Amino acid sequence: MPVKSPISQIYALVRKDLLLEWRQRHALFGILLYVFSTVFVINLMVREPEERMWNAMFWVVQLFVCVNAVAKSFLQESRGRLLYFYSLVHPRYFIAAKLIYNVLLMMLFSSVTLVCCILFLGNPLLKPWYFLGVVLLGGVSLSLLFTMLAAIAAQASQNAALMAIMGFPLIMPILILLNNISQSAFSPVVQPGLGGMFIMLAGMDVLIIALALILFPFLWKE
């Protein structure tokens, strides 16, 4: 059999993950239920929060959804199966496929979270399309970082706790950045320094992707 091009290898891996996700629907719908119940609990506690609170709540929900959704992307693979992939593809393509898959997954969950928040917590947004864009971007950033962290945590014994310990300090700058950027969607006034913050966010994403591609092959070496 001829060796396939990297693109088709990555495509096959992403396809496999999506198919698996769809066949084991409990995980997918579990997360959706998680989003729903978290937002609903906030609704029961604070009814309709004011703008700043709404924004903060939204990003905290996003954070926890991301931890739960992305953490299992490596945990669901058994040791034997990982070894099998190792013999088939270059680790760089493997992590690239995981990154793409988690980005797709997180974009879906981000949109669902947004809809839930608007339904249950009211809609203080003045620029909904701008906010949707930021939410998708935020989903991308969060899932990129947590994919790499899940790969690290999968190597250690106490996975779930470790994700939180490693992830929360690392994600803080990105969350604060996202919070500041999305603040613009609540006011008609143009925020100063918005372009710079977008560049910074893009820079962080590029940094994480580059580090993941460089470092993951070392992580896989056993």
Partner 1 sequence: MAKNWWKILSVLLLLYVIIGGFMVPVPVIGNNQQAARSIFFHLPMWMAMYTLLTISVVNSVWYLATNDLRRDVRASSAASVGVLFGVMGFLTGMLWATYTWGGTIVNDPKQMTTAIALAIYMAYLVLRMSFTDIDKRARVSAIYNVFAFALLIPLTYIIPRTVDSLHPGSASSPGFSDKDTAGTIKMVLWPAFLGFTLLGIWIYTLRNRYKRLALKNIIHG
* Smallest separation (angstroms) from partner 1 to the CB of 153: 9
For 172, the token pair is: 């803080």
Q: Tokens 């706790």 identify what position? A: 161
The residue among 83 and 172 lying less far from partner 1, judged by its C-beta, is 172
Question: If you ran DSSP here, which 8-state letter would residue 183 be given?
Answer: G
**What residues line the site for partner 1 (CB under 8 A)?**
148, 152, 155-158, 162, 165-166, 168-170, 172-173, 193, 196, 200, 203-204, 207, 211, 215, 218-219, 221
* Smallest separation (angstroms) from partner 1 to the CB of 195: 12
* Smallest separation (angstroms) from partner 1 to the CB of 94: 15
Exposed, middle or buried by CB within 10 Å (0-12, 13-18, 19+), for 44?
exposed
The residue among 24 and 155 lying less far from partner 1, judged by its C-beta, is 155
* Smallest separation (angstroms) from partner 1 to the CB of 166: 5
The CA distance from 185 to 85, in Å, is 43
Hey, how many other C-beta atoms are within 10 angstroms of the C-beta on 139? 27
The residue among 124 and 167 lying less far from partner 1, judged by its C-beta, is 167
The residue among 42 and 201 lying less far from partner 1, judged by its C-beta, is 201
The residue among 53 and 204 lying less far from partner 1, judged by its C-beta, is 204
Q: Tokens 């998708």 identify what position? A: 136
Q: Tokens 């996975």 identify what position? A: 159
* Smallest separation (angstroms) from partner 1 to the CB of 158: 6
The answer to whether residues 129 and 100 touch, using CB atoms and an 8 Å cutoff, is no
